[in-house]
């Protein structure tokens, strides 16, 4: 990570229809509430995403219950250009991080596992945020909470480090 101020934040999951769009929406709310004087570009993509797919119904409904609207989200597949433009990249799992580091070696210094960066270990002693795809509303709600807790801690770490 460079010493410049972080303004472009990217969230990466697999299909870019559940976790990363939810993380994107949550981060936009947190950062706009806490840093209204700054302009941030927050986006998401997926390591195996099909282009232009909507967020999953369950993700849309889960976010709607928190007052966030991701119904207009359209998936993007990760690319060199997307990573190049990001100041920091937060992945949902260690495997996402490994994929990005192996394929996009020049961008690897800015890639972090979200929960590891936030220093929040899960119940399975892992930093991974499990994919809720195909699961019920309660799983999506838990995933949303896990994302929010992790993003709050990550933003605090960036703030105290003088990076935002």
Active site residues: 13, 19, 131
Q: Are 27 and 154 in contact, with CB atoms under 8 Å apart?
A: no
Enter the DSSP assignment of 87. Answer: S
Determine the distance from the C-alpha atom of residue 96 to the mean position of all C-alpha atoms in its chain, rounded to a whole number. 11
Indicate the SS3 state at residue 100: helix
pLDDT for res 86 = 97
What is 8-158's CATH superfamily?
A: Response regulator (3.40.50.2300)
Domain limits, the chain? 8-158
pTM attached to this predicted model: 0.94
pLDDT for res 115 = 97
Indicate the SS3 state at residue 73: coil
pLDDT for res 3 = 57
Mean pLDDT per 10-residue run, the chain (164 residues)?
76 98 97 82 97 97 97 97 97 97 95 96 85 94 97 94 83
């Amino acid at each position: 990570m460079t010493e410049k101020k972080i303004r472009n934040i990217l969230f990466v999951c697999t299909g870019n229809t559940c976790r990363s769009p939810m993380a994107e929406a949550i981060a936009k709310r947190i950062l706009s509430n806490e840093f209204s004087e700054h302009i941030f570009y927050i986006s998401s993509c997926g390591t195996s995403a099909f282009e232009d797919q909507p967020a999953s119904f369950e993700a849309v409904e889960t976010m709607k219950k928190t007052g966030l609207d991701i119904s207009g989200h359209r998936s993007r597949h990760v690319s060199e250009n997307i990573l190049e433009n990001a100041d920091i990249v937060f992945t949902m799992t260690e495997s996402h991080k490994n994929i990005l580091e192996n394929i996009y070696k020049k961008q690897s210094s800015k890639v972090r596992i979200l929960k590891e960066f936030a220093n929040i270990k899960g119940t399975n002693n892992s930093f991974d945020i499990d994919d809720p795809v195909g699961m019920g509303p309660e799983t999506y709600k838990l995933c949303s909470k896990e994302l929010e807790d992790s993003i709050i801690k990550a933003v605090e770490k960036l703030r105290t480090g003088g990076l935002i």
